[in-house]
């Protein structure tokens, strides 16, 4: 029987982490672009960016299905991203109904800084700590996948699966 107190400690730290992270990159983004640009991350436009950096040149429909969004929402996000010069839209030549979305260099860069960049706060950890953290997170993530897949109404999970595959490619 694992120690409840220890669980609570960890839980508290995790919450704290979430909170601090949140304001930390709120500040980072504020200094960066002052007005406009908000965190993005794993919703809406950010989600699109992530999906595209996993596989570029998808159609809007494809994106919508992968991200579990309606085509209209997807269109909205795509258009917003186009305005920000992070993606481009072009009609498919093989099927002229389709619109193919591609990351611009800027978009790719944006997606990468959202992810690939090693956050500052990890650089002060020792190798041992990094290993520990990685293995713990692996376990936790596996749990979360389970949680999702069991509770799931046959939606959402594929997204995560896809993106996490991409992460695996990227980091291992």
Q: How far apart are CA 38 and CA 43, in angstroms?
A: 12
Among 13, 72, 90, 112, binds its own copies (CB under 8 A): 13
CB of 60 to its own copies, least distance (A): 21
Nearer to DNA by Cβ, of 95 and 120: the residue is: 95
CB of 15 to its own copies, least distance (A): 5
| Cβ neighbours around 74 below 10 Å, total | 23
Among 25, 29, 99, 157, binds DNA (CB under 7 A): 99
63 closest CA partner among 103, 108, 94: 103
Q: Pick one of its own copies, DNA, none as the site partner of residue 88 (Cβ within 5 to 8 A by kind).
A: none
Binding track over 41-60 against its own copies, x by CB under 8 A: xxx-----------------
Query: Restricting to residues 41-60, which ones interact with DNA according to CB under 7 A?
Result: 43-47, 59-60
Q: Is 47 exposed, middle or buried (0-12, 13-18, 19+ CB in 10 A)?
A: buried
Asked if residue 36 binds its own copies (CB under 8 A), the reply is no
Asked if residue 26 binds its own copies (CB under 8 A), the reply is yes
Q: Alpha carbon 167 to chain centroid distance?
A: 10
Instruction: Report angle CA 131, 137, 140 to the nearest 5 degrees.
Output: 145
* Dihedral sign computed on CA atoms, order 21, 24, 27, 29: negative
3-state DSSP assignment of residue 9: helix
Q: What are phi and psi of 118, to 5 degrees?
A: -75, 120
CB of 5 to its own copies, least distance (A): 9
Among 35, 93, 118, 154, binds its own copies (CB under 8 A): 118
Query: Restricting to residues 58-117, which ones interact with its own copies according to CB under 8 A?
Result: 115-117
Residues within the interface to DNA (CB under 7 A)? 36, 38, 40, 43-47, 59-62, 64, 68-73, 75-78, 80, 89, 92, 95-100
């Amino acid at each position: 029987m694992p120690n409840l107190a220890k669980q609570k400690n960890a839980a508290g730290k995790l919450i704290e982490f979430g909170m601090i992270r949140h304001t930390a990159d709120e500040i980072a983004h504020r200094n960066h672009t002052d007005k406009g640009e908000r965190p993005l991350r794993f919703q809406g436009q950010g989600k699109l960016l992530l999906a595209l950096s996993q596989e570029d040149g998808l159609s809007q429909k494809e994106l919508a299905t992968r991200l579990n969004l309606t085509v209209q929402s997807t269109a909205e996000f795509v258009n917003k991203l186009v305005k920000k010069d992070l993606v481009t839209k072009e009609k498919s030549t093989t099927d002229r109904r389709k619109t193919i979305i591609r990351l611009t260099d800027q978009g790719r860069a944006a997606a990468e800084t959202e992810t690939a960049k090693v956050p500052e706060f990890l650089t002060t950890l020792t190798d041992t700590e990094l290993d520990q953290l990685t293995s713990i997170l692996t376990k936790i993530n596996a749990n979360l996948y389970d949680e999702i897949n069991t509770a799931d109404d046959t939606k959402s999970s594929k997204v995560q699966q896809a993106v996490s595959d991409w992460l695996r490619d990227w980091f291992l």
